[in-house]
A and B are shown apart, each in its own frame.
Chain A
Amino acid sequence: MTDMAIPVGEHGDSVVDTPEGPRSRGDRLLPYVFAGPALLVYAALVMLPLGHTFFLGFFEWSGGGPMDFVGIDNFIRIFTDSITMTAIKNNLIWAVLATIVPVSMALLLAVLLATQLPPGVRLFFSTVYYLPAILALAVSAIVWGWVYNPAWGALNALLDTVGLDGLERAWLGDPNIALYSVFVVSAWAYFGFCLIILLAAIQNVDPSLYDAAKLDGASAWKQFWHVTVPGIRNELNFVVLYTAIEAFRVFDLIYIMTGGGPFYQTEVIATSVYREAFVEHEVGYASAIASLMTIIIATLATIALRWRERTDPEAQ
């Protein structure tokens, strides 16, 4: 890194030669003029509060009145508090499902859409699949709250119509299945995004690779496994990371559809933070949970980026 503002091109090479020596003071300030406003806003409203949250995690504080320094007590409490541990367990289940279910749905549909189709059909389906993602999760939560309504919801009515009334249940009221019922909404909301990314990636795979595979007599399944999957490795890595990060942030759906209930059985980390901070007024404890959550997500992201660097020949 230098202290001069050197314009760089795509590969980091200097775009502009400056044979006449040091550049003017104005030019050196240039990058800061462009990036400064964004970085200032970001520092004030993201970095600073983030640091503040980590700081608050070491105190007992009700949101008003005195703050008591308690060391790492709040962090220890996380692992002895059965409700928070349920929230963490639920969030891990959610994250595993979220990296598998919507991504698999998207992969299947992207492969089907990448085949020969009449013009316009591909765009039509990708638009339809993306539509749930256009809705606010708050809206989706209310829509699916209706679908799951035990008395007159669409799901029970549908099961009744097709003669499967034995399967009818209180989808959000049964502690054993409520979490999975809400998860279906999450898969519904996210598979379209994954699809758009993966479809674009599949369409960018060099067609001659498929021709070569066909000449070798590779089956469709083998072509998928040995040409498509390696060809879209980076995008797959991205959507898995994206859905995993979103999984650890999940809040709106749970908060609106079940409120963490019944009996805290659908609590996740984010709803715990909200409840502890703004309902129970355990601000220090809530901050400790939020700090842990941040560390988990940053660790995941680091692992994913490292893995990508190691396996991506272009990045080396």
Chain B
Amino acid sequence: MTATLNTTLKWAVLLFFGVFALGPVLWMFMSAFKTTPEILTAPFSLPSEWRWQNIVRTWSEGGFSAYTTNTVIMTVPAVAISVALSTLGGYAFARFRFRGGSVAFFVLLYGLTVPFQALMIPLFYNFSRLGLINQYPGLIAALIAVHLPFGIFLMRSFFVNAQAEIADAARIDGCSEYGVFWHAMLPLAKPGILALTTIFFTDMWKAFLLPLILIQDDARRPLTLGLLFLRDAQGQQQYELLAAGVIIASLPTILLFLATNRYFQRGLVAGSSK
């Protein structure tokens, strides 16, 4: 009897938090297909008809095609470069002991704790002086820099676990150190690279404060800033456009997460527990 009660309770708790996690998002997604009067008067009912044109209107009239392009322009190079730099850096710290290495490692370790607020003031004023405000290269460089500590730690843990013997075997076969890295270590670290890519992609896609400081031109806003702009600009009408904007802004990362779920979760665990 207690066993059944416990099982029921267990499922009740699991489901309760499931509804808590998904409820608000699904509710907002559903509202994207309604009209504003429907949103205001019948918050929980299904849309009287599924108005896909709301999404299209947000995409074209709401400026979300440009916002999405901007987010992609910001995210893709930043992910590619930061994954490459993290992989090389992680390899260096996993495999070599070198002068300045432990100091650099210690500094990176504390880098995980540095709040962006402690960088943003000089970044803003120095970037202004260099004409880098409203420019993607400056934004991308800053995004890369703040993600390097986590990336290097994640890749280091993957390389540490990669079998050292395999590197030895490759060396005996006459490979240079670079050859060892390319032909033996890199393939072994592939799961780590995939995990890091998905983690960085979703994380950079979400960037808010960095573009808030560095991008002031509406035409160059990424999705996160575009949403806020739409919310504050639209005043009292057309709530469905904001909800549609939420769908556009979040669907790419949700789909990527669902597609790479196992890699993603494993990567989080590997990067965090070491």
Residues on A facing B (Cβ under 8 Å)? 1-10, 12, 15-16, 27, 30-32, 34-35, 37-39, 41-42, 44-50, 52-53, 56, 63, 105, 108-109, 112-113, 115, 123, 125-132, 134-139, 142-147, 151-154, 157-158, 161, 188, 191-193, 196-197, 200-201, 234-235, 238, 242, 245, 248-249, 251-252, 256, 269-270, 273-274, 277-278, 283, 286-287, 290-291, 293-294, 297-298, 300-301
| Interchain residue pairs with CB less than 8 A apart (12) | A1-B101, A2-B99, A31-B101, A38-B86, A41-B145, A42-B108, A105-B17, A131-B21, A139-B249, A251-B208, A283-B121, A298-B113
Is B160 in contact with A10, judged by CB distance below 8 angstroms?
yes
| A157-B249 CB under 8 A given contacts A49-B123, A138-B228 | no
Q: How many A-B residue pairs have CB under 8 A?
A: 289
Task: Please indicate the chain B residues that have their CB under 8 angstroms from the CB of A143 in the complex.
Answer: 24-25, 28, 246
Residues on B facing A (Cβ under 8 Å)? 10, 13-14, 17-18, 20-25, 27-28, 31, 39-41, 43-44, 85-86, 88-89, 91-93, 95-99, 101-102, 104, 107-108, 110-126, 141-142, 144-146, 148-149, 152, 160-161, 164, 167-168, 171, 177, 181, 202, 205-209, 213, 223-225, 227-228, 231, 239, 242-243, 246, 249-250, 253-254, 257-258, 261-262, 265, 268-269, 272-273
Task: Please indicate the chain A residues that have their CB under 8 angstroms from the CB of B20 in the complex.
Answer: 188
- Indicate the member of A2, A38, A143, A269 with the most B CB atoms within 10 Å: A38
Is B43 in contact with A157, judged by CB distance below 8 angstroms?
yes
Is B18 in contact with A129, judged by CB distance below 8 angstroms?
yes
Is A154 in contact with B114, judged by CB distance below 8 angstroms?
no
Is B96 in contact with A293, judged by CB distance below 8 angstroms?
no
Is A235 in contact with B273, judged by CB distance below 8 angstroms?
yes
Give the interface SS of chain B, mostly helix, strand, loop or mixed. Answer: helix
The answer for the CA separation of A305 and B205 in the assembled complex, in Å, is: 31
Is B208 in contact with A138, judged by CB distance below 8 angstroms?
yes
Is B92 in contact with A34, judged by CB distance below 8 angstroms?
yes
Is A38 in contact with B119, judged by CB distance below 8 angstroms?
no
Nearest CB in chain A: distance from B40 CB, A: 5
- Closest chain A residue to B207 by CB distance? A136
Nearest CB in chain A: distance from B271 CB, A: 10
Nearest CB in chain B: distance from A122 CB, A: 10
